[in-house]
């Protein structure tokens, strides 16, 4: 029996977040340049999003490029931005066919104009789609997102539109990039690194964490199902005792 058949479809996470890591090491294993790994990572994105949709996941949020990644060698950064443009234009037909709604979070103004244009136009094309919401975190930093939320709220208070005592967790969450996404129940990180790297710090407060040694370009359909199965074996207690849940 494959992993997919063992999944309890009534308990599939609604939102899965993924840290797609290990492209560089994957390429190195073939004696190739790092960008070779990024190129091959696109296939994993396609497969994983389709697999998630097949089992009823509603939202998938992919860490595509962090704010810190701007500090990589210029050649790699340029190659990743180019890849983003070409992958979006290549994948748009498939996204339409699969009813995928594309979205993006992060400091998008930092993107090269061509890249931002392609992203915006792809998002517009898929805006009427009603299937899985695929959110790309690009030029994303969770600390920056949280700082921005605090700034927005401070401005509301300054303008007399909000009382400090009315600043609730909900108000805070409403001012994050992710205001229209539920919190992820499952966070997957590939490549054997056990860290969060400034990703969705507020949103993953109660997410189940799943780490796998597989490098991102090797992470495919079956691997996603395996992660979901692992998630389903866990008991989510939210601070209560085992007897209470």
35 SS3 class: helix
Here's the x/- map for ligand IPE, 189-218, by CB under 6 A: it reads as --x-x-x-x---------------------
**Does 226 help bind Mg ion (rule: CB under 5 A)?**
no
**Least Cβ distance, residue 176 to Mg ion (angstroms):** 24
**Catalytic: which of 69, 129, 152, 198?**
69
Give 194 or 238: the residue with its C-beta nearer to ligand IPE. Answer: 194
What is the CB neighbour count within 10 angstroms for residue 156?
16
End-to-end CA distance of the chain: 30
Q: Which of ligand IPE, Mg ion, none lies near 214, with the C-beta cut-off 5 to 8 A by kind?
A: none
Using CB under 6 A, pick the residue from 36, 65, 177, 231 that binds ligand IPE.
65
Give 69 or 232: the residue with its C-beta nearer to ligand IPE. Answer: 69
The verdict on whether 109 is a catalytic residue reads no
43 SS3 class: helix
Residues 6+ apart with CB under 8 A from 175: 148, 149, 152, 153
**Least Cβ distance, residue 152 to ligand IPE (angstroms):** 25
Segment interacting with ligand IPE, rule: CB under 6 A, options 47-55, 62-70, 200-208, 229-237: 62-70
3-state secondary structure the chain: CCHHHHCCHHHCCCEEEEECCCHHHHHHHCCCCHHHHHHHHHHHHHHHHHHHHHCCCCEEEEEEEEHHHHHCCHHHHHHHHHHHHHHHHHHHHHHHHCCCEEEEECCHHHCCHHHHHHHHHHHHHCCCCCCCEEEEEEEECHHHHHHHHHHHHHHHHHCCCCCHHHCCHHHHHHCCCCCCCCCCCEEEECCCCCCCCCCCCCCCCCCEEEECCCCHHHCCHHHHHHHHHHHHCCCCCCCCCCCCC
Here's the x/- map for ligand IPE, 10-29, by CB under 6 A: it reads as ---------xxxxxxx----
Query: Hey, which residues between 124 and 183 contact ligand IPE (CB under 6 A)?
Result: none
Q: Which of ligand IPE, Mg ion, none lies near 141, with the C-beta cut-off 5 to 8 A by kind?
A: none
**Least Cβ distance, residue 62 to Mg ion (angstroms):** 14
The verdict on whether 21 is a catalytic residue reads yes
Using CB under 5 A, pick the residue from 7, 20, 21, 115 that binds Mg ion.
21
**Does 69 help bind ligand IPE (rule: CB under 6 A)?**
yes
Q: Which residues bind Mg ion (CB under 5 A)?
A: 21
Q: Which residues bind ligand IPE (CB under 6 A)?
A: 19-25, 34, 63-66, 69, 80, 191, 193, 195, 197
Residues assigned a catalytic role: 21, 69
């Amino acid at each position: 029996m494959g992993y997919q058949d063992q999944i309890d479809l009534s308990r599939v996470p609604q939102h899965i977040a993924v840290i797609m890591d290990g492209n560089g090491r994957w390429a190195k294993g073939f004696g190739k340049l790092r960008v070779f790994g990024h190129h091959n990572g696109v296939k994993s994105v396609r497969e994983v999003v389709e697999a998630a949709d097949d089992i009823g996941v509603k939202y998938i949020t992919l860490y595509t490029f962090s704010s810190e990644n701007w500090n990589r060698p210029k050649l790699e950064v340029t190659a990743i931005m180019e890849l983003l443009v070409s992958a979006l234009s290549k994948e748009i037909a498939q996204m339409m066919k699969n009813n995928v709604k594309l979205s993006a979070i992060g400091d998008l103004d930092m993107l090269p104009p061509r890249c931002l244009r392609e992203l915006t136009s792809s998002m517009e094309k898929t805006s009427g789609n009603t299937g899985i919401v695929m959110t790309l975190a690009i030029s994303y930093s969770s600390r920056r997102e949280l700082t921005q939320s605090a700034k927005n709220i401070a401005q509301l208070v300054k303008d007399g539109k909000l009382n400090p005592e009315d600043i609730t967790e909900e108000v805070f969450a409403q001012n994050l990039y992710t205001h229209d996404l539920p919190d992820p129940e499952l966070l997957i990180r590939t490549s054997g690194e056990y860290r969060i790297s400034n990703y969705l710090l507020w949103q993953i407060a109660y997410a189940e964490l799943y780490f796998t040694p597989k490098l991102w370009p090797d992470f495919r359909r079956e691997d996603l199902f395996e992660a979901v199965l692992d998630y389903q074996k866990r008991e989510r207690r939210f601070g209560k005792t085992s007897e209470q849940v």
